[in-house]
Structures are given as structure tokens and as C-alpha cells.
Amino acid sequence: MTFAELWRELEPIGRDPQTGGYRRYSWTPADAACRAWFTGQATKRGLTVETDNNGNLWARWGPKTAGAIATGSHLDSVPDGGAFDGPLGVVSALAAVDLLKEKTFSPERPVVLAAFTEEEGARFGVPCLGSRLLTGAVDPDVARVLTDDAGTTLADAMIAAGLDPGFLGPRDDLLDGIGAFVELHVEQGRALAPQGAALGLAEGIWPHGRWRFDFTGRADHAGTARLADRRDPMLPYAATALAARQAAADHGAVATFGKLIVEPNGTNAVPSAVRAWLDARAPDEATVADTVTAIRAAAEGLAEDHGITLSVRQESFTPLVRFDQALRDRIAAALAAAGIEAPVLPTAAGHDAGILATRIPTAMLFVRNPTGVSHSPAEHADLADCEAGVRALAAVLEDLAG
């Protein structure tokens, strides 16, 4: 099948008709439909599909030896995410297998197509949860009790989806069988368009993390409670959001409060609590730490001024990632031999590739995003660039697995 044919099949799954954005949260019916689609496509191609103990999907092509070349990405989305972030890498992997089969290429090493669970952390809060569990970067006991906003634990969500959370945990045997991982992903940001390049190669990933800020005050009547008597957690939160913007600008970082839960969330009530999630990223770990320290200090001062209790907790952190230089050089050479130029770029976006890079040689291919917009229904990549991505991925797999 062509890339376009595959893309059209997956495109409607989990798309919200109002916003046009995707809500493919892990272990929901939309996620199950994406998984079923992937499994069906891989099976049709004669690949053997397996769901590992952490819910990641693996489809195998070729011999059953070690030194597999793995490729893929994720199928889950952020709230109202774009179509490309994640699925582009999975669909391109299937399309690349088709291209290679058309050429009657027969892999000497296994080619493994992967779809990782909960990459975005949109439901359970920890990004790259499937790959973190796989590598041992998250304790399974901690993972099992992660909860979504409705209070459902990961363990219960997995049970409802027919998986046993008792088996969560690292899989050295699986990782030991993989010689290299190459993730193709839509570019997030706009570095390729000005260079006139359809494709790029990742140099590394900025360190980044998530922190939860709980501002707790006292609910009261929006009409009758005197301003002087209120303990309104919205006020220190609002000032903290502005302080985060300033701290990011001061430090050369980025900091975002993108998720908020207000309790009880009534128009005519002073809130009792504001729970806010901070995402902070910077080129180096010290800068992330300094930025978060400044935001936290501002929040603590503001909370005190308003008679509010504040607690701050780190929910995840990903250190600086530098992708394997030798693998990148080899991929660049394979692409050059196929007439493809791919500039090397850093990124501030997180990826399963960044987690796997702690264990195996890993690389990333980016497909041009003409506007740079991502984590939005407006995210886009041109069909011609996606097709160029498939050809590039096929050339890379042919070189690495041939």
C-alpha cells in the first residue's frame, strides 16, 4: 500500500469532529482502534505482532536473530493533537516495509516495527511511559498507581484493556535483541523549511520535565466573600504563570503551564484549589533546574502573600539526550547515497527514541513541518515530504538490515 492509502485509513480514528484534533489516549477505545489497525496491517504483511508486558506493540519481519533494526513511534496523542505526531513514524514504517518488499529486499537482520504506549503522557502524566517501563526508567510499582484525571489507575486501565499490569517492568531480553532504533517523526518547530530541506536528522533532545503545583485555598461565595477575607488559589497561580514566562525568558528556557484543574470549577465560587502542571525545557539540565527553582520560589512567595498552601512535585524528568554519532553518520551516508540531504537539528520535543538512546544506538529522522506548529490540530506535513520520509526510512532500513 502507498503511504497515502495507509494514512487515509488511520486518519479518522480518534479525531474529534468539533476541533479536528485527536484524542487518542492510551487504553481508551480510540487507542484500541489504532492498535487493532496497526496489528491488522502488520499481520497482512506477514509480520508477527506481539504486545509486550508494558503494552508496547512490536511487529517482526525477517529472521529471528539478534541485532534487530527497530523503527516506529507512537499512536497516542496529546489532547486535540495533530495527526502526525507519532502516527507518521508508525505509518511510514509500514510503508517503508512495502517499498522494500516491492524491491524484493530480504532483511538479513530482523526489522521490527514498534508502537510505544503513552508517549505523550496525556492520560497518566508520565511521557514515554511505555519506553520508560521497557528500559527500567520508571518503577513498575510507581507506574501501576499513576492515575488519570478521573482517578482511574494505569493498572485498572490496563486490566480493562485486557492486559495484566502485574507484568509491567523492564525487558532486557527484548532490548538486547535490538541493534539500533530509528524513529521517524514529524518536525516540531520550523528549522527545515528555511533550509529548503524535506528531511532532517536529530542531534539530541533538550532536557525536560513536568512539575505539578497544587495551590490550595478555601472555597467561598463569589458575591458575598469580601476580597480581604478570601483565600483564592487562582491569584497566586495566575501570577505564577506570568512568573514562569519571565523566568523562562531570563534563563533562555521555555516554561509552560498548559494543564489546569480548578476545583470546584464554579463560575460563582472562589476556587478551593488550583492544580497546575508546569512543563520546563532548556538546552542544558542546569538551566532547567535554575528556571524551575525561580518559578517555584515565585510561587511560594505568591502563595504565602495570598494565604494559600502550595505543594510542588516533580512528575517526570528526561535528561539531555545526545543521539549516537556513529549511527547518525551511517544513516547520513546511506541517505547521501540515495541522494537525500538531511541537516542535523536539535529538538526540544520528547520522544521514545530519547529513552531508548540510554540503552541502544538510536537515531531520529524528521519530516519537514512547514509551519512548525505541533500538539495542535493545525500540525501538518505535506504528502510529498511524508513520501520522501518513507523513501528515506526504507533506504536506512535497507542499509542497516541488509
The footprint of ligand GLV (CB under 6 A) covers 120, 127, 349-350
How far apart are CB 207 and ligand GLV at their closest, in Å? 12
Size of the site for Mn ion (CB under 5 A): 2
Measured between alpha carbons, how far is 198 from 392 in angstroms, rounded to an integer? 10
127 binds, among ligand GLV, Mn ion, none (CB under 5 to 8 A by kind): ligand GLV
Q: For residue 354, which phi and psi values (nearest 5 degrees)?
A: -65, -30
Measured between alpha carbons, how far is 314 from 374 in angstroms, rounded to an integer? 24
How far apart are CB 143 and ligand GLV at their closest, in Å? 18
Determine the residue with CB nearest Mn ion. 85
Measured between alpha carbons, how far is 44 from 1 in angstroms, rounded to an integer? 11
How far apart are CB 78 and Mn ion at their closest, in Å? 6
Binding mask 65-94 for Mn ion (x = CB under 5 A): --------------------xx--------
How far apart are CB 318 and ligand GLV at their closest, in Å? 9
If the CB atoms of residues 129 and 235 are measured against ligand GLV, the closer one turns out to be: 129
If the CB atoms of residues 282 and 349 are measured against ligand GLV, the closer one turns out to be: 349
If the CB atoms of residues 120 and 148 are measured against ligand GLV, the closer one turns out to be: 120
Mind giving me the DSSP string for 119-180?
A: SS-TTTS-TTHHHHHHHTSS-HHHHHT-B-TTS-BHHHHHHHTT--GGG-S--HHHHHTEEE
How far apart are CB 214 and ligand GLV at their closest, in Å? 21
Q: Tell me which residue has cell 528531511.
A: 199
How far apart are CB 358 and Mn ion at their closest, in Å? 18
What cell numbers appear for 213 in the block? 503545583
What cell numbers appear for 279 in the block? 512543563
If the CB atoms of residues 61 and 84 are measured against ligand GLV, the closer one turns out to be: 84
Is residue 57 within 8 A of residue 28, CB to CB? The reply is no
Paired residues of 209 in beta bridges? 280, 317
If the CB atoms of residues 41 and 291 are measured against ligand GLV, the closer one turns out to be: 291
Measured between alpha carbons, how far is 267 from 293 in angstroms, rounded to an integer? 33
If the CB atoms of residues 41 and 347 are measured against ligand GLV, the closer one turns out to be: 347
Paired residues of 241 in beta bridges? none
How far apart are CB 130 and ligand GLV at their closest, in Å? 13
271 binds, among Mn ion, ligand GLV, none (CB under 5 to 8 A by kind): none
If the CB atoms of residues 31 and 120 are measured against ligand GLV, the closer one turns out to be: 120
Measured between alpha carbons, how far is 44 from 25 in angstroms, rounded to an integer? 25
**Which residue from 349, 343, 354 is spatially nearest to 379, judged by alpha carbons?**
349
86 binds, among Mn ion, ligand GLV, none (CB under 5 to 8 A by kind): Mn ion
Q: Tell me which residue has cell 539526550.
A: 321
Query: Is residue 116 left, alpha or beta, with left meaning phi > 0 and alpha meaning psi from -120 to 50?
Result: beta
How far apart are CB 10 and Mn ion at their closest, in Å? 15
Contact between 31 and Mn ion by CB under 5 A: the answer reads no
Q: For residue 203, which phi and psi values (nearest 5 degrees)?
A: -90, -45
350 binds, among ligand GLV, Mn ion, none (CB under 5 to 8 A by kind): ligand GLV
**Which residue from 127, 118, 133, 14 is spatially nearest to 76, judged by alpha carbons?**
118
Measured between alpha carbons, how far is 265 from 273 in angstroms, rounded to an integer? 9
Prior bond of 346 cis (ω within 30°): no
How far apart are CB 56 and ligand GLV at their closest, in Å? 17
52 binds, among ligand GLV, Mn ion, none (CB under 5 to 8 A by kind): none
179 binds, among Mn ion, ligand GLV, none (CB under 5 to 8 A by kind): none
If the CB atoms of residues 299 and 349 are measured against ligand GLV, the closer one turns out to be: 349
Report DSSP state, residue 348.
S
Binding to Mn ion in span 352-391, by CB under 5 A: none
If the CB atoms of residues 78 and 112 are measured against Mn ion, the closer one turns out to be: 78
Is residue 138 within 8 A of residue 102, CB to CB? The reply is no
Is residue 121 within 8 A of residue 77, CB to CB? The reply is no
Would you tell me which residues interact with Mn ion (CB under 5 A)? Answer: 85-86
